[in-house]
Chains A and B, each alone.
Chain A
Amino acid sequence: MPEPTDIRSGLVCVGLNYKTTPVEVRERLAFPEAQVPAAVQQVRGLPGFEESVVLSTCNRVELYATHALPSGKDGHAALREYLIDRFELQPEHAEALVLYNLDSAEAARHLFRVVSGLDSMVLGETEIFGQVKAAYKVALDTGTTSRALNKLFQQAFTVGKKVRNETTIQRGSTSVGSVAVDLAEKVHDLKECRVMLVGAGEMSRTCAQSLLSRGAKSIIVSNRSYDKAVELATEMKGRAMKFDEWEHSLHEVDVIISSTSAPHFVIRPEQIDQVMRKRRWEPLLIIDIAVPRDVDPAVNNIEGVYLYDIDALQAIADEGRRERERQLASCERIIEDQLEKYGFLKPGGNGGGLKLA
Chain B
Amino acid sequence: MPASQQLLLAATLIFVGALVQALLALKAGAWKQARAQFVLMALGFALQTGFIYLRGEEVRQCPIRSLPDILVFIAWSIVLLYFLVGPAFRLSLLGVFTSPLVTLMQGMAFLSGFASYPPKGPINALVELHIALALISYAAFALACITGVMYLVQERMLKRHQIGGLFYQLPPIQGLAHAIQRMVRLGLLLLSIALGISFALHLPMTKTGHVVFAWIVWGLYAVISLLMWKHFTSPRRTAWLAVIGFILPFISLWIVTHA
Contact = CB atoms under 8 A, between A and B. Distances in A.
Interface of A: 165-168, 171-172, 179, 182-183, 185-189, 276, 280-283, 300, 303-304, 306, 308, 312, 315-316, 319, 327
Contacts of B170: 186
A179 B168 CA distance: 11
A187 B173 contact: yes
B234 interface: yes
Interface in B99-150: none
Interface in B152-168: 154, 158-159, 161, 163, 165, 167-168
B163 A165 contact: no
B226 interface: no
Given A186-B167, A186-B173, A281 B231 contact: yes
Given A187-B158, A188-B174, A281-B233, 16 more contacts: A165-B30, A168-B28, A171-B168, A179-B163, A182-B163, A182-B168, A185-B172, A187-B172, A187-B173, A188-B172, A276-B234, A280-B231, A281-B234, A282-B174, A306-B158, A316-B161
B65 interface: no
Contacts of A315: 161
Interface string B221-251: 0000000000101111100000000000000
Nearest to A320: B163
27 contacts: A165-B32, A166-B30, A168-B28, A168-B29, A172-B163, A179-B163, A186-B167, A186-B170, A186-B172, A186-B173, A187-B158, A187-B172, A187-B174, A188-B174, A189-B172, A189-B174, A280-B231, A281-B234, A283-B174, A303-B236, A304-B234, A304-B235, A308-B161, A312-B161, A315-B161, A316-B161, A316-B163
A172 B168 contact: yes
A306 B163 CA distance: 13
Contacts of B172: 185-189
B175 interface: yes
B229 to A, nearest CB: 11
Contacts of A171: 29, 165, 168
A172 B173 CA distance: 18
Contact of A306 (B159, B168, B237): B159
B154 A186 contact: yes
Contacts of B163: 172, 179, 182-183, 316, 319
B-side interface size class: 20 to 34
A185 B90 CA distance: 14
Contact of B158 (A168, A179, A186, A282): A186
Q: Lowest 9 A-B CB distances belong to which pairs?
A: A168-B29, A280-B231, A303-B234, A281-B234, A306-B158, A316-B163, A188-B174, A312-B161, A186-B172
A140 B170 CA distance: 40
Nearest to B170: A186
A304 B28 CA distance: 31
Contacts of B234: 276, 281, 303-304
Contacts of A319: 163
B29 A167 contact: yes
Contacts of A168: 28-30, 165
Interface in B191-221: none
A172 B177 CA distance: 24
Contact of A283 (B168, B173, B231): B173
A319 B168 CA distance: 14
A145 B165 CA distance: 41
A283 B177 CA distance: 10
Contact of B159 (A182, A189, A281, A300): A300
A185 B163 CA distance: 13
Contacts of A182: 163, 168
Nearest to A165: B32
A185 B92 CA distance: 14
B30 to A, nearest CB: 6
Contacts of B158: 183, 186-187, 306
B254 to A, nearest CB: 34
A205 to B, nearest CB: 23
A187 B154 CA distance: 9
A214 to B, nearest CB: 13
Contacts of A165: 30, 32
Nearest to A313: B161
A187 B170 CA distance: 11
Most chain B CB neighbours (cut-off 10 Å) among A280, A281, A306, A316: A281
A186 B172 CA distance: 4
Contacts of B236: 303-304
B184 to A, nearest CB: 16
B228 to A, nearest CB: 10
A165 B158 CA distance: 26
Contacts of A189: 172, 174-175
A281 B172 CA distance: 15
Contacts of A300: 159
A306 B158 CA distance: 7
B195 to A, nearest CB: 30
Contacts of A304: 234-236
Contacts of A316: 161, 163
